[in-house]
Structure 1
Amino acid sequence: MNFIDRKQRDMILITDTNKKNLIISKYLNKKEMQIKKLKTESIVIKDYNEPGNQLLIKSSNLISFKEGEKVSFFKVLGRYVQLDCVVLQEKGEQNYLLKIENLHLAHKDREDYRIVPPDDAVWVTNVRTSRTNLTTAFETVPTVVKINYSDYENKLRSKFEYIKIDIFRPGMDLKFELVKKTGKILFVHDTQDIDSYLSMDVDYLNYGEELGEEFQKVMNDYKDKRVVSEVIIPVIYYSPESITASTIGYVHIQSKNEKILMDQVLETKVLTFEMIDRIRESNTIIKYNKFPVLNISYGGLRILITDKELAEHLPHQMSFSFDIVFKNIAPMSMNAHIKYLSIDSLKNLIVGVQLYGLSHKPRDKKKYAECVGVLKTKILEDK
């Protein structure tokens, strides 16, 4: 993997010759541009031949191009600018003659500019991500889930006549589908009492209302099977990199002799939370390294990942969470979407992220913006 870009930019193809010549000659000629597939590497445009629509560029000793190779370069000039070229000839001493095929310009200006912070001014630590993506749709039960379901099923077996902890599967009864869809507990204290099917508690399913015309049929089915009481508790999982929940399974309890009490439901609910915590702990990779921030803006940052396990794992993720630390400022917890990935010359992973969650504290969003603002001002003053 050299580079993976997950961003979708709204780009304009510049076809007007005069406009293209103006952009290249005024803003790109004699300037440095980044290589799109290797964002850590750059070239310098040494000369622009307008009539021939050609560029003479110079690359570093680490980069070489072949004749006929297609390559793209970019630069942020308020807007994102991209040149698509084909290599015509190697001129020696890392100089290359290129023909310009296309010039693209982002439709909108960047919402905020990236700044390169001084060393040790800001860093990332406590990086948290899932080993396995746990969702509502499993084809097979992940090992970390299977082990914990089995442990807690055994723990609860002595308390109830029937207990099963499992994932949701296709074709299950309506009651399971309702629990999965709503994330609410189904509790029928007495299957032959109409009032037991109704609930005004927001955490519990109003089963009677959901059944409608099927109400009597369900009640009779309980009677035929001699089930006097039933509980289904959803297993709701929050991954370390997500702010949304996944209902990854259920705890199913039935009794044919004694009615299940609310105290027993609450006790089982607490044990379910304990089980979820154990799953999350087993399924989470946490790295306490101090990872450098290569650049930063109000909406995102670029992080240098030097840990091998994390570097191998993150390309398979869409998001992750971490703490960001500005020097002499308390850490702030963040959630971020991965927007691009690249590998530097030392085989370290570079991750570009867009922030979508700043802790659970509203003041952290303001605090983060203030820290970036202070850093930006200091850098401008030092220039």
Structure 2
Amino acid sequence: MKLLVSSVRVIDKTSPFNGQIKDILIEGGKIKQIGDNLDAGNAQVVDGTGLSVSAGWVDMRVQGRDPGFEHKEDLHSVRQAAAHGGFTEIVLLPNTQPVVDTKDTLNYIRHSGFGGLVTLHPAAAVTKKADGVDFTEMMDLHQAGAVAFTDGENPVQNADLLLKTILYLRPLNALLINRPEDRELTLYGQMHEGVTSTLVGMKGMPALAEEMMLIRDLKLLEYALEKNTYDTTAPVLHVSLLSTVRGVELVREAKAKGLPVSADIAAHQLAFEDKDLIGFDTNLKINPPFRSSEDNAALRQGLADGTIDAIVSDHNPHDEESKNLEFDHADFGITALETAFALAVMHSGLVVDDIVEKLTVQPRRILRLPEVSVAEGAPANLTFFDPNSEWIFGRSYSKSKNTPFLGQTLKGQVRGVINNGKQEWFQ
């Protein structure tokens, strides 16, 4: 592939060309030259006028569903949805059937993504079947290529298991991802516990469930690190899907103490509040649930001051039979890969440069992935987008359509991706 993209604005804080409008010549899977009025020669030419380019985006939280639930999503459709969302690399949670708790299942996922436009990074389960009882062979899974360890949709409820996992992973320089939720407190819960849940008569999921579990996790992290001398410059614990005022405060306090912790939020978390569930739209049923305006304000502040490191899609596809039924029987989750960037532009309160950083630099740092930059000689792992363009989300490339955004006008459009010598452009 030899390609010249002309007159495109570079948005990459790590690039010497950040903020400049340049031509980019790509050849052999690498950025050969960046400059002005470059000679295209025999290269394919794409007019980048009005577009921006950054390093390829990384999504740290995706439910791929394959193997086992291919009727909801498979590895082909999830890569299509990811590409249309601007993501060139995605982390797949282990909650498949079978669970990603052996090298065979891990390698099935990794190999299916080799050399493709979207690189797949499987996360392996902490416990067998992700059921919180017995440990997996984490050292073997780490050596086989697991990018992180998590029970995914199942927060680790056992404190001793979490503590021993931190102690076990530190010598490997491996990452533990956990979503803070005390499931005893959220049992049978359907939405955020508050005025709206009372008005509509649904069992609430209190903010306390997140806060208590997060206090526990951070205390265990601090306790574990007192007992070893390993370098802690990289995050050891990644807190996924923060949603509450106190949750943000706890991560902020932990970072101020120097604890090696990082955090993310889902882009759609900021698009709604609990009061929006009065209409019982099951596409708005997620976990953690949409919370109050005060919680959303705290999330925006956490993004702005760096307490929250990354933005994820939390892509969670479901078939029609899992969503099109009574609210209290519907599954939690939104199909979210294709809308994550637009929702971040519309609702995060961040300037585009900072949004891009939370989709590129920070996820790679947290996951220990190689750095990617818009620079000469670097791999051509790139996302092209127009942050100011309005577009109608008229079609999803996911197998599942459980999203409240279909047919809606969004701002911030992905226009193309390049990775592993492959390219795809969108209108």
> Into which bin does the TM-score normalised by the smaller protein fall?
under 0.3
TM-score norm. by structure 2 comes to: 0.20
Larger RCO (CA within 8 A; separation ≥ 6) = 2
Larger radius of gyration: 1
TM-score norm. by structure 1 comes to: 0.22
Considering fraction of residues, name the structure with more strand.
1
